[in-house]
């Protein structure tokens, strides 16, 4: 026997014993699991099916850059047409890396599994794994591992691949399956994925919505959830999911996606298409809901920023003159997305009140209105503003980015970064413009944030520090 052939056989045997779920581990090709059941296994038939879905979907109308998608994952007979609307939104868009995140339906495991090697195969060909990015997600402490067996019969990510192969060219994937995640799993994936998503890297969450309810109840549940997703309202979505008032089989992947895209700059959700299985089959006793949605980065225009300032002035004027709450009629979807806002009021250049939210807990317009009123009458450092002062007021709105843990104090940029400090029950925040206005350097900025939190001046050395940026509107 040829010695080289003998050694190669021994190597192959050892590889199979060590990695029993990797077919031909020298290539690490993940063979399709649901071709022929969830979608056609014949190449030409599959190609024609996907292209027909895409033609029917047409070109979606939206403004902004797509940072993430929500796409259903049932068999193509049921949800393929709905899925096509999301994929039309990114057709020929030039994305080079696609992060696919879905729930594990078949395999139980702690944490998450990332497929880190080789390729995924469909009847349309092979798609390479971005092995560098995939490997960066692995973290033993967060239970994020390479568990190839988790993918062996899973459909939630696989059904997305033929669509991607049809609408994109020269791209790679980072496949993630969620099992039973811990808090560490959740936080690690959010932080890591937020660093990856950019103009060439897109995040796609795979999920269906309500399961096996009568048609009208399903539509009601799904419409409530879609309204929250359009606002990127993470906390409210989680609360309704916990109460079983809305449903998603891929709830954790979607919540992770919402957090990630928000950190990546998304400020608006849009519904491309909704249907449920009753719309397709006519059987409406027990249906499953499907939605295609996009998360968009669509910056506020100069005119929209002035609209927000006007809302703040009107809210303060209404409250000070009548004691009534100002309730504007809002039609701009950007204003309806949850936003973290601080409102600063000055009189003749001197601070007269400043109050806000560090987290996006309500729609942007509502946060502006409520914090404007609070800054005018609820800042404990100042007496309530009087009606006679109204003509002399200037209002500044700071729309905060998501908080990021500070890894090194040398990363603080004066004038660009705001600071949040937390130690025990003490917490303080300073907006980015404060350091510039007072001429502080980095050391004094750190001391002042400690002072703001009621802490000794050197407490930043042993406290939790976070940075953020702000879009300042005045």
Provide the number of structural domains found in the chain. 4
Q: Which helix (H) or strand (E) holds 249?
A: none
pLDDT for 374:
98
Q: Does 201 share its domain with 256?
A: yes
1 pLDDT more than 60: no
Predicted confidence (pLDDT) per residue in 244-272, tens digit: 999 999 999 999 999 999 999 999 999 99
Shared domain for 231 and 185, answered yes or no, is yes
Q: Are residues 13 and 65 in the same domain?
A: no
For the chain, percent of residues with pLDDT exceeding 70: 94
* Residue 5 reports pLDDT greater than 70: no
pLDDT in tens, 208-239: 999 999 999 999 999 999 999 999 999 999 99
Mark whether 384 and 411 lie in a shared domain: no
Q: Are residues 346 and 382 in the same domain?
A: yes
- pLDDT tens sequence across 430-447: 999 999 999 999 999 999
**Cβ-contact 56, 81 below 8 angstroms:** yes
Name beta bridge partners: 291. 274
What residues make up the domain containing 12?
1-26
Domain co-membership, 3 together with 148: no
Strand 340-347, strand 393-400: pairing? antiparallel
pLDDT at 61: 86
The whole-angstrom separation of Cα 175 and Cα 128 is: 11
The Cα–Cα gap between 142 and 184 comes to 5
**CATH number for 44:** 3.40.830.10
- For 111, the 3-state DSSP assignment is coil
Boundary (domain end) residue, out of 358, 374, 394: 394
pLDDT bin (cut points 50, 70, 90) of residue 124 is very high
Residue 101 has pLDDT above 70, yes or no: yes
Total residue count of the chain as it appears in this document? 474
Confidence band, pLDDT 50/70/90 cuts, at residue 8: very low
Q: What local confidence, expressed as pLDDT, does residue 28 receive? A: 84
Average pLDDT, the chain: 93
Q: What is the pLDDT of residue 165?
A: 98
Kindly state whether residues 278 and 309 are assigned to the same domain: no
3 contacts: CB under 8 Å, gap ≥ 6 = none
Quote the pLDDT of residue 4: 41
pLDDT interval class at 60 (50, 70, 90):
confident
Report the C-alpha gap between 250 and 451 in whole angstroms.
44
Query: Does residue 36 sit in the same domain as residue 113?
Result: yes
3-state secondary structure of 175: strand
Judgement on whether residues 238 and 116 belong to the same structural domain of the protein: yes
User: Could you tell me which of 84, 274, 262 has the C-alpha nearest to residue 163?
Assistant: 84
Terminal C-alpha separation, the chain:
82
| pLDDT tens digits along 274-333 | 999 999 999 999 999 999 999 999 999 999 999 999 999 999 999 999 999 999 999 999
**What is the CB-side half-sphere exposure of residue 256 using CA atoms within 13 A?**
33
Domain end position, chosen among 247, 266, 297? 297
- Backbone torsion region of residue 265, taken as left when φ is above 0, otherwise alpha when ψ lies between -120 and 50, otherwise beta: left
pLDDT digits (tens, 9 = 90+) for 343-388: 999 999 999 999 999 999 999 999 999 999 999 999 999 999 999 9
pLDDT value, residue 7: 42
Q: Residues 319, 343: one domain?
A: yes
- CA distance to 182, 254, 263, 333, per residue, from 241 (Å): 17, 12, 22, 23
User: CATH number, domain at 470?
Assistant: 3.30.1490.150
Rounded distance between C-alpha atoms, residue 398 and residue 269, angstroms? 21
Q: Which CA distances in Å does 322 have to 316, 318, 325, 386, 392?
A: 10, 6, 9, 12, 19
% of the chain with per-residue pLDDT over 90? 93
pLDDT of 110 reads 97
412 and 363 fall within a common domain? no
The domain spanning residue 328 has which CATH number?
Answer: 3.30.700.20
Question: Whose CA is closest to 462, among 471, 453, 470?
Answer: 453
pLDDT, tens digit, for every residue of 405-414? Answer: 999 999 999 9
Say whether both 270 and 173 belong to one domain. yes
Question: How far, CA to CA in Å, does 52 sit from each of 45, 47, 84, 282?
Answer: 11, 9, 9, 21
- In tens, the pLDDT along 12-29 reads 344 434 444 444 344 689
């Amino acid at each position: 026997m040829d010695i080289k052939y003998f050694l190669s056989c021994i190597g192959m045997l050892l590889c199979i014993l060590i990695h029993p779920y990797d077919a031909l581990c020298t290539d690490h090709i993940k063979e399709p699991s649901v071709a022929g059941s969830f979608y056609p296994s014949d190449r030409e038939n599959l190609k024609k099916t996907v292209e027909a879905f895409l033609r029917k979907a047409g070109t979606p109308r939206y403004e902004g850059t797509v940072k993430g998608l929500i796409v259903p994952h049932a068999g193509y007979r049921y949800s393929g047409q709905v899925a096509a609307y999301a994929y039309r939104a990114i057709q020929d868009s030039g994305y080079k890396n696609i992060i696919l995140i879905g729930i594990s339906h078949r395999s139980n495991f702690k944490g998450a599994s990332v497929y880190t090697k080789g390729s995924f195969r469909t009847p349309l060909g092979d798609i390479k794994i971005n092995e560098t990015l995939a490997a960066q997600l692995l973290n033993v402490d967060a239970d994020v591992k390479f568990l190839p067996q988790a993918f062996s019969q899973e459909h939630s990510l696989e059904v997305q691949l033929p669509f991607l192969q049809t609408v994109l060219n020269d791209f790679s994937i980072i496949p993630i399956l969620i099992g039973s995640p811990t808090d560490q799993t959740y936080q690690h994936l959010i932080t890591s994925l937020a660093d990856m998503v950019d103009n060439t890297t897109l995040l796609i969450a795979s999920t269906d919505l309500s399961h096996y309810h009568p048609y009208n109840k399903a539509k009601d549940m799904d419409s409530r959830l879609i309204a929250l997703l359009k606002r990127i309202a993470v906390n409210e979505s989680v609360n309704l999911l916990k109460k079983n008032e809305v449903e998603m089989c891929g709830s954790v992947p979607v919540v992770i996606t919402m957090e990630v895209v928000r950190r990546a700059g998304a400020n608006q959700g849009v519904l491309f298409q909704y249907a449920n299985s009753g719309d397709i089959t006519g059987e409406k006793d027990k249906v499953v809901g499907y939605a295609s949605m996009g998360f968009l980065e669509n910056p506020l225009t100069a005119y929209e920023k002035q609209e927000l300032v006007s809302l703040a002035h009107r809210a303060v004027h209404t409250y000070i003159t009548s004691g009534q709450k100002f309730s504007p009629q809002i039609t701009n979807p950007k204003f309806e997305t949850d936003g973290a806002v601080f409102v600063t009021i000055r009189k003749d250049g001197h601070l007269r009140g400043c109050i806000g939210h560090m987290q996006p807990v309500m729609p942007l317009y509502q946060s502006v209105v409520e914090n404007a009123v609070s800054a005018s009458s609820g800042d404990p450092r100042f007496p309530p503003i009087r009606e006679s002062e109204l003509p002399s007021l200037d209002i500044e709105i700071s729309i905060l980015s998501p908080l990021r843990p500070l890894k090194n104090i040398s990363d603080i940029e004066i004038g660009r970064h705001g600071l949040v400090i937390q130690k025990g029950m003490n917490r303080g925040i300073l907006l980015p413009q404060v350091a510039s206005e007072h001429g502080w350097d980095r050391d004094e900025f750190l001391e002042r944030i400690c002072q703001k939190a009621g802490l000794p001046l050197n407490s930043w050395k042993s406290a939790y520090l976070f940075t953020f940026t702000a879009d300042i509107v005045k």
